[in-house]
Amino acid sequence: MALLLDINFDGRNKFGEFHKEMPDERVIHWQKEKDHNPDLSSVRYAVVWKPQPGLLASLPDLRVIFSAGAGVDHIFEDPKLPKDIPLVRFVDPDLTNRMSEWVVLQCLMHLRQQRKYDRNQFKHHWQELDQPIASDVRIGMMGLGELGCNAAEKLNVMGFQVNGWSRSKKYVEGVQCFSGEGGFDAFLGQSDILVCLLPLTDRTTGILNAGLIKRLPQNGAIRPVIINAGRGGSQVEADIIEALQNGMLGGVSLDVFETEPLADDSPLWDFENAIITPHVAATSNISALAKYVAGQITRYESTGKLNNLVDMARGY
């Protein structure tokens, strides 16, 4: 049996973690070995991030595909993706907690107007700003999966009013839940800070657009804010830029973009009320990923069962 890794983590040499967790198995690092035409006939398992198109379909004995991150849209971009092979997303407390840290940080930054205080600091200007408390602010969590529910729980602890929206009805303690198209407008109308952690599908592509922005409340405790750490394809950046320019949005925090890296000439860099991070809200820990994959393979080999399977029809 062989394990194929098609991952590029900025050159970090941590692939030995897979050898450590699976010492009896052959581990093929595709990024390093592809020029030597390695024998892939015995590959049963593949761990991938933005895999080379057609690579997965070329593996004759492939049994399971593992995403190296929480998202799987990068795998569905492969037009030759074999849809009859189980696809598993990465779920790990380290990744989940990192995402929640980032989301909570961004909500607090906008609540406490930290960017304005930063500007005043550089100007040596002492000024107290009026600001609401967390309980006056309504946060709308778009996506109530593992990441969204964890972030919602921590925002509740901070005292925010937390609402949540998902395609299908869910029940989350301490969260007012909305679902489906019928509940979307009511949800948006109660979202002073809109947090998007949705997977990228045909339905969510471009969902953060001008039409959505117009449905956010303009009379809340703060001007509407959009926070996106889900997928860059969910946002229409031209619409977000226009809304920042005309005041429809009071601010944004963006960790993902339509094209990455974000272009040097993008206006998003220059808005004082925009917080830009380079897709680092929740990076995968290689050691945790290796343990996760090894555990899943052991379970699959003994029981034929897997955790955190992706619905191939829905795409998440």
Which residues are annotated as catalytic?
231, 279
3-state SS assignment for residue 307: coil
Phi-psi label, residue 124: left if phi above 0, alpha if psi -120 to 50, beta otherwise: left
What is d(CA 144, CA 196) in angstroms, rounded to the nearest whole number?
Answer: 10
Compute the Cα dihedral for 50, 53, 58, 63 and give only its sign: positive
What is d(CA 244, CA 194) in angstroms, rounded to the nearest whole number?
Answer: 15
Which residue, chain included where needed, has tokens 């226009």?
242
Sheet holding 176-179, edge to edge: 176-179, 161-166, 138-142, 193-196, 225-228, 251-254, 274-276
The answer to whether 308 and 125 are in contact (CB under 8 A) is no
Strands 87-88 and 161-166: unpaired
What is d(CA 99, CA 139) in angstroms, rounded to the nearest whole number?
Answer: 16
Distances (CA, A) of 236 to 206, 210, 259, 274: 5, 8, 11, 15
From the list 61, 22, 54, the residue with the least C-alpha distance to 39 is 61
The answer to whether 36 and 11 are in contact (CB under 8 A) is no
**φ/ψ (deg, to 5) at 312:** -65, -25
Compute the Cα dihedral for 283, 287, 293, 296 and give only its sign: negative
Locate 176 and state its tokens: 């007012």
